[in-house]
Amino acid sequence: MSPALIAALPFLGALLPAIAAQAGRSAAALAAGAVTLAALAGLLAHAPAVLAGGTVTAHLDWVPSLGLAASFRLDGLSLMFAGLILGIGALIILYARFYLAEDEDVGRFLSTLLMFQGAMTGVVLTDNILMLLVFWELTSLSSFLLIGWWQDRPEGRQGARMALAVTGGGGLAMIAGMMILGQIAGTYEISDIIARGAEIKASPLYLPALVLILIGAFTKSAQFPFHFWLPHAMAAPTPVSAYLHSATMVKAGLYLMARLWPALAGTPEWTAIVATAGLVTMLVGAKIAFFKDDLKALLAFSTVSHLGLITFLLGLGTKAAATAAMLHILAHASFKAALFMVAGIVDHAAHTRDIRRLGGLARAMPVTFALAAVAALSMAGIPPLNGFLSKEAMLTEAAASGLLVAALATIGAMFSVAYSLRFLAHTFLGKPRKALAHPPHDPGPGLWAAPAVLVGIVIASGLLPMATFGPFVDAAAGAVTGGPVHAHLALWHGLEPPALWLSLAAVGGGLMVLGGWPRLRALWDAAPRPEAKAMFDATLSGLVSLARMVTDALHGGGLPRALAITTAALLAGGAWAFLTGSHSPGTRAMLPLEAAPMVVWAVLMAATLAVAALHRNRLLALLLTGIVGLLLAAAFAWASAPDLALTQIAVEVVAILLMLLALNFLPRQTPVESSRLRRARDLGLAALAGLGTGALAFALMTREAAFAPISAFHWAQSKPGAGGTNAVNTIIVDFRGYDTYGEIIVLGIAALVIFALAETLLASRRATARLAALDTGGNAGDPHPVMTAIGLRFLLPMALMVGVYLFLRGHNLPGGGFVAGLVFAIALLLQYLASGYVWSSRRRRFDSHALIGAGVLVATATGAGAWVFGLPFLTSGYTYVKLPGIEKFELATAALFDLGVFFCVLGAVLLAIATLSRLAQHTPDRERRGG
């Protein structure tokens, strides 16, 4: 199975649990589990080759010019992380099936979980940093949905927002850092980047890139000072907490640091930032965890501490430290997922997670106690469990880094022992502290089966580390360090290693700290300390206030202010470019002026100035705008651009007619709202902008282009490449067909938005009352004169025939689907104006929404048809056909695409007409309008 398919499977199967949930909770869990296990099976099929030192790749160019490719790479590091994501993911699905309440939407939950799983799998398998950024943000979005799953709980909503704000902000910084990294390396392929580590470290942009990338990694992996969001994410359901804290989300930052280790590590900057942040995070998280009374809060802060431990090891920059980090990632994932599931079982059984109310659960819940004991002792680093192996490796590297580092690491390990034993002793040992409303008992196998599997791994990997974790640690560490690694994993290394004595000190100190719990808790409660959540809330509130102040100052809701600010900014940028740039005279000769164009230009200027001067009279301004449009069409025709002239005329007619309908809802006169000072300012800005635009156009037209214009290619290839002699049409439907495809979709969306707004207005009593009270000034006489109505009905078939003619000739002569659609729209629009909405709509035999949809579908099908022949999307083809008695003629797929354009344009205009006409029925003159 290709690595690309492994990453895609969770996304492809995300809908299955939601569909299967109709058959029950078990069916939904089976569907989600089948998807996860299929991806895991595909991953493990490559394991022998990868563990032997091989690499499996998949590559598909997407936008080669931008360095964007769908590249996937499976090596030792990605195998280990993907195995954790998919393996623990399968156990989480089993646990969630029995954990969630009967009234929970299990199908939707598991579908969201698969999206989260797919995003994380994509992060660790992709080999392109641009694709990694996409998957990275998907983890933030999907985790937001999972953390805030219980939407009725304020703590869930707040935890989700906090996680999204912190990790999303870090993601923005990381995007900038990745762009810089790609520019330094000259590539966006991760495998190429890590091969150019020396070049990257020697670049003057190394430090900015490093800091920005580490901000993204630190926020995702909850490193100090961004650690505070992770404990608040515990408001999520326990299956989410177990998954997020053990194998996903927070491990993404660790993966990123490990993946880029060859390119970024080994410098004083890396060691100072990463190792220091990791060590501080380990100490802060461990200390806070010891004093937490909520089981999940204690485990959450312990996760922060262990993430700091791994970051500290990666920051040391040595091969042995990187190997120890890989070992602890595996150990932490196994015991932490089990502990969170145990916390969920306790919550289910006792209906509380408050340690102050618990105690003595070992007698009532012996199975749960056994699972908790093994996992907690592994977290404390007690032999013969896997946590002991990784703790020993960490202390060995800390001891090699100096006395101070060794002492601080030992203190962190000491608190780890203390909070682990407190989790175990205060919850399961001793006597119950308070009577519980619900007598606790062990759950069925559905809840304890998943943590039991993980506890089995904890024991097996502790007793037989080389046979279980050894190959994966060697392969992952080798991928990180770029060379072969042969780690020696054993429970006993003799009496000489300093890690043994540091470990004994940590265990002894942890027991002493736990023994002094009452006094230490009193000191903790009495000591003043900053509250991270309060600081975050204050910071966020300040940023929101600042943003609101700036927004109100720059964009107070008035269009004139926004336009003035935008225009002034553009003028300032243009002036700066002009004053700081070099200048040279134009080389192209001026053309002689002719009388006719000068007259048209003068009339155009007069009409434009008249629109600005007389804009308060809406009808007159509209008529003057029409004159401007028609003069522009004449200018296009004079400049040998008949297609543009034809399109301009059709657009102008449709726009004027639609605006005439819209004027029905506006007063005849625009009130004076701007002061003389503001009008003078706007006049000055407009004059400067006009002069600047004119000067820029003059400069461009009097100088030779630096590059040969692409128009020569379009002109030369119009007939041989696209089968048409009308270069404008072939550009629209072939060379730049994707632009046109996007434009017709946007046109359809705009029409649907107009319709939706009108529906909202018509559904509002207040809005319809305002429409009914609207003073439109009345009308004179019959709104539907008989002569006009009859004349336009005779004109309709002729206009439609002209539209068909323009459509058919568009590939070789001026015309095409866009113009034909406008001509059809004009013909039908005139019927609405002449005979009224009711008369016209009763005779309409097609739906505007269906026309828009048909247009998009026809255009899409035409473009996708090129794939059948192995050609890019929207590549057109043509041939010539000779039928008996008929002259040889051309058939081109571009005509089908043009038909889609025709349908979209016609549907959008007719939908706008229908919308305005329906609104018109609510004005005082609706009876006389035929409504």
Final residue belonging to a domain, choices 607, 637, 671 = 671
CB atoms under 10 Å from CB of 63, counted, come to 9
Structure tokens at 642: 């008949």
Do 507 and 613 lie in one domain? The reply is no
In this predicted model, what pLDDT tens digit does every residue of 606-641 receive, in sequence order? 988 898 888 888 888 888 888 888 888 888 888 888
Structure tokens at 339: 């502990």
In this predicted model, what pLDDT tens digit does every residue of 397-438 receive, in sequence order? 998 888 899 999 999 999 999 999 999 999 998 887 777 777
pLDDT above 70: percentage of residues in the chain:
94
Confidence (pLDDT) at 442: 87
State the pLDDT confidence band at 532, using cuts at 50, 70 and 90: confident
In this predicted model, what pLDDT tens digit does every residue of 148-196 receive, in sequence order? 888 888 888 888 888 898 999 999 999 999 999 999 998 889 999 999 9
Do 477 and 608 lie in one domain? The reply is no
Do 659 and 733 lie in one domain? The reply is no
Do 524 and 648 lie in one domain? The reply is no
- The whole-number average pLDDT for the span 563-574 is 89
pLDDT exceeds cutoff 90 at 801: yes
Do 344 and 493 lie in one domain? The reply is yes
The three-state secondary structure class of 396 is helix
In this predicted model, what pLDDT tens digit does every residue of 320-345 receive, in sequence order? 999 999 999 999 999 999 999 999 99
Query: What is the rounded average pLDDT for all residues in the chain?
Result: 86
**Residues 359 and 349 sit within 8 Å (Cβ to Cβ):** no
pTM for this prediction: 0.72
Do 603 and 544 lie in one domain? The reply is no
Do 736 and 877 lie in one domain? The reply is yes
Confidence (pLDDT) at 133: 93
State the pLDDT confidence band at 67, using cuts at 50, 70 and 90: low
Residue at 802 is within a domain: yes
What is the Cα–Cα distance from 273 to 224, expressed in whole angstroms? 11
Question: Alpha helix locations (H) across 765-813?
Answer: 765-772, 786-809
pLDDT exceeds cutoff 70 at 777: no
Residue at 38 is within a domain: no
Return the bridge partners of 881, or none. 889
Give the residue numbers spanning the domain of 650.
594-671
Return the bridge partners of 891, or none. 879
Confidence (pLDDT) at 557: 65
Residue at 350 is within a domain: yes
- Beta strand segments in 554-668, E: none
Instruction: Give residue for tokens 């204050």.
Output: 538
**Sign of torsion, CA 72 78 81 86?**
positive
Final residue belonging to a domain, choices 628, 656, 671 = 671
- The whole-number average pLDDT for the span 503-529 is 88
pLDDT above 90: percentage of residues in the chain:
40
Of the candidates 133, 96, 4, 10, the residue with the CA atom closest to the CA atom of residue 56: 4
State the pLDDT confidence band at 710, using cuts at 50, 70 and 90: confident
Confidence (pLDDT) at 124: 94
**Residues 56 and 141 sit within 8 Å (Cβ to Cβ):** no
Confidence (pLDDT) at 778: 44
Tallying the residues shown for the chain, one arrives at 931
State the pLDDT confidence band at 771, using cuts at 50, 70 and 90: low
State the pLDDT confidence band at 212, using cuts at 50, 70 and 90: very high
Structure tokens at 289: 């965890």
Residue at 64 is within a domain: no
Angle subtended at Cα 289 by Cα 285 and Cα 295, rounded to the nearest 5 degrees: 135
Q: What is the dihedral of CA 619, 625, 627, 631, to 10 degrees?
A: 180
Q: Which of 29-43, 163-177, 270-284, 780-794 has the lowest mean pLDDT?
A: 780-794
Do 927 and 853 lie in one domain? The reply is yes
Final residue belonging to a domain, choices 496, 530, 549 = 549
State the pLDDT confidence band at 776, using cuts at 50, 70 and 90: very low
Of the candidates 199, 328, 207, the residue with the CA atom closest to the CA atom of residue 258: 328
Do 515 and 625 lie in one domain? The reply is no
pLDDT exceeds cutoff 50 at 927: no
Residue at 434 is within a domain: yes
What is the Cα–Cα distance from 894 to 642, expressed in whole angstroms? 20
Regarding beta strands 878-881 and 56-63, do their DSSP bridges make them parallel or antiparallel, or are they unpaired? unpaired
What is the Cα–Cα distance from 931 to 920, expressed in whole angstroms? 8
pLDDT exceeds cutoff 90 at 815: no
Do 768 and 837 lie in one domain? The reply is yes
The total number of structural domains that make up the chain: 3
Residue at 165 is within a domain: no
Do 738 and 883 lie in one domain? The reply is yes
Do 807 and 925 lie in one domain? The reply is yes
**Sign of torsion, CA 114 118 120 124?**
positive
Residue at 105 is within a domain: no
Residue at 260 is within a domain: no
Confidence (pLDDT) at 88: 95
pLDDT exceeds cutoff 50 at 926: no
